[in-house]
Structure 1
Amino acid sequence: MSINPAVCLVDLMDFEQTCSKVEQIFAGNGRVLTPELGMLSEKALSLYQGDFLAQDTAAWVVAIREKQKTRCLRVLERLIKLHEQAGHREMVETVCERALQVEPLREDFYRRLILFFLQTGRKADAVNVFERCGKIFRAELGSEPSESLRGLVADLDYALRSINSHPLPSTFPPRSDPCE
């Protein structure tokens, strides 16, 4: 017996085939986000619905689960780079957030999102992402984000807290000019 691919579609097989096509395009001319690459990448990401048989601990299941997750993360990493290069700001944020949904313990995705927010002037969002990273790392790993990530937002966090604790008055007193 075998599965007739014309009659039955297995999402795992479809995901693997789509990722293979994406990887072939990246290997050939993966520096430009073409419509085909975008469409195939989106298809691969829509097929990835989370951990394969998440509750199963059999070795063969874990191997497939990790392979799928790794392939998905590779597609996400490359998409982030392409969107950054193309200047697609909204997509950079969207794809970074999607990557963090797939793997919330990858500091490099937090770093990219924080840098994106800093580059686009969204400093409060950068601090919020850093704080989310810290909460997740403490809860899941019992550790803090790396020194370099902490350094990235340390000065910014201090400045924002200082501004929030000492807000400017909504109206300024009339100016007294000593020359008058």
Structure 2
Amino acid sequence: MSSEGLQIRMLGSFSLEQGGRVINDGDNRSRKVWLLLAYMIYCRNRTISQEELVNLLWGEEERSSNPLNALKTMFHRVRTMLNQLGESAGHDLIVRRGGNYSWNTDIPATVDVEQFDALCRTGGSEIDENKRLEQYRKALELYQGDFLSKLSSEPWVVPIAAYFHNLYTQVVQETLPLLEGLGKREEAVQLCRQALEVEPYEESFYRHLMRNLLDLGDQRGAVSIYEEMSELFFTNFGVMPSDDIRALYREAMRTVNDRAIPLGEVQEQLREPDPASGAMMCDYDFFRMLYQMEARFISRSGDAIHIGLISVHGEDGAELSKRSLDRVMENLRELIRISLRRGDVAAQCSVSQYILMLPQANYENSCMVCERITKAFFRQYPHSPARLRYCVQPLEPLK
């Protein structure tokens, strides 16, 4: 082989590079070929028995009548693929000794997972923040995705991928305050976006991203991030963002003009753009604020406002599958919007419920509204597996 070092990347896509020649797992070759190659590389500091490799590739159920011959054929394919890196590279890199196989560690090679791990450890032990940040930057640059992402379902890959995934998350969480402390907010924003591609459910990444966007004056970008996060968390877990993230959202929604403006311009800013017919559909956070405002109002006026709750469930109260529930909630949302008046307000308050605010409607009329929505749903979707139920209560005035 060439005297140039072999570069092996296993974080994200799996590839080997030698002297400008590259092979990677995007070549649409057999999954088992890449599985065998990955295992030989990751376990390259020890000899591996044929029995262990047969179990890796075929387990107990898939074994052929001649598993050792099948293993020999698989190694032939691996070596043929490695030969694309250089003449006889396959036989140089994979050695057979006494019926067992091993990776030739005499050939210099750098592996990104080992570099990443070493940089994280070095950075974590640095007392000087600038030196720590330097090591962490190098580590994060190496992390192009989870360990062997195309082999993520393999049992031996799962714990290793989890280790590096968690280590990456920890390093990002330690790096962001370092960048923010140096005023490097653009870099922090970029890191947050990259980290969310790897771990889209880490709430602290959204918090840092929104804070940095606000400090950069990008309120619209912060609002967009909040809306994306809210939909993701609500759809998958039925939860709303934490109080501190909602506080950032409210900060982003506040528009402060940098000059005195006339009342007409203020009204123009406040006016709803292109108002649609039917109810105002809003986030649950905004519904809560409107509820609290109305509770204050009726404590003085004595007007009647009722709240309706429409719940979705399956036959006999059973839960619907996520796919069915998502489709029902999407259809029900539009039906609620067009069935209510412009002065009514509605929001999704859980994965399977909508809350309605019906001003100037008494109890009987509010029940009629909910009944009308329920009947309209089944007329429009007669084969839906969903069942709807509703309840109505008066909005309680502020005490």
Per the normalisation by structure 1, the TM-score is: 0.73
- Equivalent residue letter for 2:172: L
**Aligned residues of 1:79 and 1:95 also touching (Cα < 8 A):** no
| Structure 2 residue corresponding to 1:61, chosen from 148, 157, 177 | 157
Say if 2:196 is the partner of 1:100: yes
* Match of residue 356 from structure 2: none
**Aligned residues of 1:33 and 1:83 also touching (Cα < 8 A):** no
Q: 1:149–1:13: structure 2 CA closer, same or farther, 3 Å change rule?
A: same
**Aligned-residue offset at 1:51:** 1.6
Say if 2:181 is the partner of 1:85: yes
* Match of residue 173 from structure 1: none
1:56 & 1:129 partners in 2: Cα distance? 28
Q: How does 1:127-146 map to 2 (within 5 A)?
A: 127-146=223-242
* Match of residue 14 from structure 1: 115
- Give the structure with the larger helix fraction: 1
* Match of residue 33 from structure 1: 130
- Equivalent residue letter for 1:33: N
Q: 1:5–1:15: structure 2 CA closer, same or farther, 3 Å change rule?
A: farther
* Match of residue 208 from structure 2: 112
2:167 & 2:105 partners in 1: Cα distance? 25
Q: 1:39–1:5: structure 2 CA closer, same or farther, 3 Å change rule?
A: farther
SS at match of 1:130: helix
1:164 & 1:107 partners in 2: Cα distance? 31
- Give the structure with the larger strand fraction: 2
User: How far does the alpha carbon of each residue in 1:8-48 deviate from its partner, in whole angstroms, 9 at most, with x for none?
Assistant: 222222221222222222xx23xx223xx444323211221
**Aligned residues of 2:214 and 2:252 also touching (Cα < 8 A):** no
**Aligned-residue offset at 1:80:** 0.8
Q: 1:21–1:156: structure 2 CA closer, same or farther, 3 Å change rule?
A: closer
2:242 & 2:103 partners in 1: Cα distance? 49
**Aligned-residue offset at 1:77:** 1.5
- Equivalent residue letter for 2:141: S
Structure exhibiting the larger radius of gyration computed from Cα positions: 2
User: How far does the alpha carbon of each residue in 1:132-152 deviate from its partner, in whole angstroms, 9 at most, with x for none?
Assistant: 111222343343322442243
**Aligned-residue offset at 1:65:** 0.8
1:165 & 1:60 partners in 2: Cα distance? 58
* Match of residue 217 from structure 2: 121
**Aligned residues of 2:179 and 2:187 also touching (Cα < 8 A):** yes
**Aligned-residue offset at 1:155:** 5.9
Q: 1:10–1:153: structure 2 CA closer, same or farther, 3 Å change rule?
A: same
* Match of residue 49 from structure 1: 144
Any unmatched runs of 5+ in structure 1? 168-180
Q: 1:131–1:9: structure 2 CA closer, same or farther, 3 Å change rule?
A: same
Q: 1:42–1:59: structure 2 CA closer, same or farther, 3 Å change rule?
A: same
1:19 & 1:155 partners in 2: Cα distance? 35
Question: Number of matched residues?
Answer: 160
2:228 & 2:199 partners in 1: Cα distance? 14
1:97 & 1:5 partners in 2: Cα distance? 40
* Match of residue 72 from structure 1: 168
* Match of residue 163 from structure 1: 269
1:146 & 1:166 partners in 2: Cα distance? 27
- Equivalent residue letter for 1:131: E
How well do the aligned residues superpose, as a CA RMSD in angstroms? 2.8
Q: What percent identity do the matched residue pairs reach? A: 29
**Aligned-residue offset at 1:81:** 0.7
**Aligned residues of 2:210 and 2:222 also touching (Cα < 8 A):** yes
Per the normalisation by structure 2, the TM-score is: 0.36
1:116 & 1:133 partners in 2: Cα distance? 16
**Aligned-residue offset at 1:85:** 0.7
Q: 1:128–1:134: structure 2 CA closer, same or farther, 3 Å change rule?
A: same
